[in-house]
């Protein structure tokens, strides 16, 4: 069963006639593991594309069928629970970001920086280029991209233990 909800719509400007609310958007992950979107009577397989601003990665998600945008989710909170769960699952599957809870070591080796870290999913080892540095996010966290393009986040650097904080802050310019 696909639950339906009204999506947010763009308010009209004084020079325009008021716009009609769009048809209800419903999202579902089907048995093949793919995300499908239904808008009115039309149902298509979609891929997720995050839009700017990067400071709000959970908002403004373009649902595309090929190169064509099928729908835009401005805020997942506007979706019903079933559609929101499908969107969250698709986001996790599309671009998994590891959350670092502890930094065990950071070592330089032949033009690479090797990190040994702990995450809620267990220990991880990854490498970055020596000229690649952790980026500060607008909410005060840190984001590290490894050589394979995977992302590792430290959402709350102030919550790291003293040794982890010392290793990480030595890398922030």
**123: pLDDT confidence band, cut at 50, 70 and 90?**
very high
Cut 0.85: pTM above it: no
pLDDT at 6: 37
- Take residue 14 and report the two structure tokens written for it: 């004084």
- Walk across the sheet containing 47-50 and list its strands: 47-50, 61-65, 68-73
Q: How many CA atoms lie within 13 A of 150 on its CB side?
A: 15
- Better-predicted residue by pLDDT, 129 or 138: 129
For tokens 């922030």, the residue is: 172
Span 15-43, pLDDT tens digits: 444 444 456 899 999 887 889 999 988 99
């Amino acid at each position: 069963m696909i639950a339906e909800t009204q999506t947010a719509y763009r308010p009209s400007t004084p020079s325009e006639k008021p716009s009609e609310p769009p048809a209800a958007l419903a999202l579902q992950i089907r048995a093949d593991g793919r995300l499908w979107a239904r808008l009115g009577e039309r149902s298509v397989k979609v891929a997720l594309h995050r839009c700017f601003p990067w400071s709000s990665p959970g908002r403004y998600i373009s649902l595309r069928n090929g190169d064509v945008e099928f729908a835009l989710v401005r805020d997942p909170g506007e979706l019903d629970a079933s559609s929101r769960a499908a969107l969250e699952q698709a986001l996790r599957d599309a671009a998994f970001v590891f959350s670092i809870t502890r930094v065990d070591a950071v070592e330089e080796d032949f033009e690479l920086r090797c990190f040994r870290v702990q995450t809620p999913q267990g220990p991880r080892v990854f490498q970055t280029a020596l000229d690649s540095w952790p980026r500060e996010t607008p909410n005060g966290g840190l984001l590290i991209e490894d050589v394979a393009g995977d992302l590792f986040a430290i959402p709350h650097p102030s919550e790291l233990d003293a040794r982890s904080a010392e290793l990480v802050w030595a890398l922030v310019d």
